[in-house]
Structure 1
Amino acid sequence: MTVPIRRGPSPSATVPDGADILRDTLRRHAAGVTVITFPGPVGFTATSFTSVSLRPALVSFCIGLEASSTPAARLAERFAVHVLGTANAALAARFARSGIDRFDGVRWRAQPDGLPVLDGVTGWLSARTVLRQTVGDHLLVVGEIDSGAVAADAPALVHHNGGFASAHPLA
């Protein structure tokens, strides 16, 4: 079998930088939508949430170094991750906005240490922060799960091609 040789762009072509390539490529990658919260209350919408390990049960997320919630991410001993379903699109949009009180009009309850847990989400978990590491222009935060609940069975809310979408199982 012959594999075609890919040649680089001609010297006169404009070559996109790595950030442009990453941004353009990830627009085509569907990512689950979550809201991350810290005591304060502080919170933001994130698509960078992922599992890291089952034993111990570790999860992670990234947040931009310049984001308004970054100081809380740097200091918080615990955080909560709220997994969103399609019914939570307005909540995701609210926690993605800057310059507003993201908790105004949102139903939530505080755990004993002040960690906010949002009501009406598909599921949530809380974690004790075990690692913070600056990586490029983001802060990577890893936490060990200490509690959580699955509250509803709903189609997942995903972010794809610059907007919110629904994930449905294929037949």
Structure 2
Amino acid sequence: MRRHPSGVTVVTVPGPAGFTATSFTSVSLEPALVSFYLSAVASTAPAVRSAEVFAVHLLGADQQQLARDFARSGVDRFAGVGWTPAAGGVPILTDVPAWLSAQPVLRQRIGDHLLVVGRVLDAGGPATGAPLVHHDGGFGTFHGSSSG
């Protein structure tokens, strides 16, 4: 799967707790549903299992360090990171291109991971700039072409 490029996100839950995820995807438009996976033994898994709301932050090309910080274990991932609490106490990171909050509607153990599906509650951010992409163990970006 290292050869499959994917967008980079940070998922947060009340606590605060959070982690870097590349498994984020849209599930449904009506109703608006999204999903992500998390290792069932990750340090944030207990907080995710009990959270009544979560937020997903889409990272920009210049946010590699934020992605690395939220992927580290044994540290305060929120140290030095700007955020504000939203409905339900979920942390919303500042200075990200886009974010959404969601209410979990399904949590299912799949192999060694936990699948979380959520109904979108709110969204925001300027939605500008190039995305941060993960590929083959590294970070990069993508600049779309405008073809007519």
Task: Compute the TM-score of the two structures, normalised by the length of structure 1.
Answer: 0.83
1:91 Cα deviation from its structure 2 partner = 0.7
2:3 matches 1:28: yes
For residue 51 of structure 1, what is the aligned residue in structure 2?
26
Partner amino acid, structure 1, of 2:32: A
| SS across alignment from 1:113 | helix
For residue 86 of structure 1, what is the aligned residue in structure 2?
61
For residue 71 of structure 1, what is the aligned residue in structure 2?
46
8 Å contact 1:158–1:164 — kept in the other structure? Answer: yes
- Runs of 4 or more, structure 1, over 4 Å off, are none
8 Å contact 1:84–1:121 — kept in the other structure? Answer: yes
Q: Quote the Cα distance in structure 2 between the aligned partners of 1:63 and 1:155.
A: 25
RMSD between superposed Cα atoms in Å: 0.9
8 Å contact 1:120–1:151 — kept in the other structure? Answer: no
The 5 Å alignment of 1:3-22 reads none
- What stretches of structure 2 of length at least 5 have no aligned partner? none
Partner amino acid, structure 2, of 1:108: W
8 Å contact 2:53–2:90 — kept in the other structure? Answer: yes
Task: Compute the TM-score of the two structures, normalised by the length of structure 2.
Answer: 0.96
Cα distance per residue 1:68-96 (max 9 Å; x no partner):
11001110011000001112111111001
- What stretches of structure 1 of length at least 5 have no aligned partner? 1-25
- Residues matched between the structures, number: 146
Partner amino acid, structure 1, of 2:107: R
8 Å contact 2:101–2:123 — kept in the other structure? Answer: yes
Partner amino acid, structure 2, of 1:142: V
2:112 matches 1:137: yes
For residue 95 of structure 2, what is the aligned residue in structure 1?
120
| SS across alignment from 1:85 | coil
8 Å contact 2:52–2:88 — kept in the other structure? Answer: no
Choose 1 or 2 for highest CA Rg.
Answer: 1
Q: Quote the Cα distance in structure 2 between the aligned partners of 1:82 and 1:112.
A: 15
Q: Quote the Cα distance in structure 2 between the aligned partners of 1:35 and 1:103.
A: 11
2:74 matches 1:99: yes
1:113 Cα deviation from its structure 2 partner = 2.0
| SS across alignment from 1:68 | coil
8 Å contact 2:105–2:119 — kept in the other structure? Answer: yes
Q: Percent identity?
A: 58
1:112 Cα deviation from its structure 2 partner = 3.9
For residue 164 of structure 1, what is the aligned residue in structure 2?
139
For residue 153 of structure 1, what is the aligned residue in structure 2?
128
1:150 Cα deviation from its structure 2 partner = 2.9
Q: Quote the Cα distance in structure 1 between the aligned partners of 2:126 and 2:43.
A: 29
1:152 Cα deviation from its structure 2 partner = 3.8
